[in-house]
Structure 1
Amino acid sequence: MTGRLRPLPHPDPFVEATRGYITRVGDALQQQGVSLSKVWLDPSHPRDATFVLGLEALVWNESEGFVLGEYVSGEPGVRTVLRDPVRLGGGVLPDPRAVPALLSDPAGGRPLPLRSFAAGHDGFEDRLAGYARD
């Protein structure tokens, strides 16, 4: 898929492990006509990523899943700040193709329980790694 905005590789292998998933989410958003001006992988503890959508930003992290709000500040390596954030449903690792639909009805999302990013052997890392192989 040429011409799509994608996150750059991250020097920390632990953060880099999220790039396959974040790339797929970005591709799905763009395929549905969502305009991205920036996308990057953020710091860890928890690992997260930001998709800047004009005046708003969609932030994913491994503890909460996706959160949408007004973009206040952030950049690669610096935690993103949102105004009036709304946690979307779908869990912490929804199918990338489902994320555009979460954006269309943020108030209707039913957030699932949070996941501790220190959870250890809960299968999350295996699911995340599956996106790097596909």
Structure 2
Amino acid sequence: MIDRLRPLPHSDPFVDATRGYITRVGDALQERGAPLSDVWLDPCDPRDATFVLGLRALVWNESEGFVLGGFVSGEPGVRTVLRDPVQLGAEVLPDPRSVPGLLERGAAGAPVPLRSCAAGHDGFQDALVLGYPVAD
């Protein structure tokens, strides 16, 4: 049985709404043997989260999806800095079980916005909250 490493609740409910999705991604990474040593929710505009994987980090944000790079710096509440970041996949909210495969397939290219974090009523928030509710 895997001892799960999961993000802590965030004091901002808007940021915390990402925790269910981020938890499921972290669980999927751990189930596939990724060297996950830390995970946290980060600030807004865009909302994001960091998964530390040894010397690399995988960062998810609501505008670019998943970006992988060398871990330079970061901590809860501080935007993560990556060296040589590359975007993985072309979706902002891929199925959490597919994320380990994105790591295995590698880079899709330099990070580009897939949606605006200021998009408003584009269905993203509903997909996030209804599809991946927070389970404490």
Q: Which TM-score tier does this pair reach, normalised by the shorter chain? A: over 0.9
Residues of 2 paired with 1:72 and 1:108: CA distance? Answer: 21
Q: Is the 8 A contact 2:41 2:77 kept in 1?
A: yes
CA RMSD of aligned residues (A): 2.0
Q: Which runs of 5+ in 1 are unaligned?
A: none
Q: Is the 8 A contact 2:71 2:82 kept in 1?
A: yes
Residues of 2 paired with 1:114 and 1:63: CA distance? Answer: 6
Runs of 4+ in 1 over 2 A off after TM superposition: none
Matched, 1:131 2:132: yes
Give secondary structure in 2 for the equivalent of 1:25. helix
Residues of 1 paired with 2:59 and 2:134: CA distance? Answer: 23
Alpha-carbon deviation of 1:107? 2.7
Q: Which runs of 5+ in 2 are unaligned?
A: none
TM (norm. structure 2) is 0.92
Q: Is the 8 A contact 1:90 1:102 kept in 2?
A: no
Q: Within 5 A, what are the aligned runs for 1:49-128?
A: 49-108=49-108, 114-128=114-128
Residues of 2 paired with 1:118 and 1:91: CA distance? Answer: 17
Q: Is the 8 A contact 1:91 1:113 kept in 2?
A: no
Give secondary structure in 2 for the equivalent of 1:60. strand
Amino acid corresponding to residue 71 of structure 1 in structure 2: F
Q: Is the 8 A contact 2:87 2:112 kept in 1?
A: no
Superposed CA deviations along residues 85-109 of structure 1, whole A, max 9, x for unmatched, are 0011141000000000000012357
Q: Is the 8 A contact 1:66 1:87 kept in 2?
A: yes
Q: Is the 8 A contact 1:91 1:112 kept in 2?
A: no
Percent identity for Structure 1 against Structure 2: 77
Residues of 2 paired with 1:87 and 1:38: CA distance? Answer: 20
Residues of 1 paired with 2:134 and 2:75: CA distance? Answer: 27
Amino acid corresponding to residue 49 of structure 1 in structure 2: A
Change (3 A) 1:123 1:73: same
TM (norm. structure 1) is 0.93
Aligned residues: 134
Amino acid corresponding to residue 131 of structure 1 in structure 2: Y
Superposed CA deviations along residues 35-59 of structure 1, whole A, max 9, x for unmatched, are 2110000000100000000000000
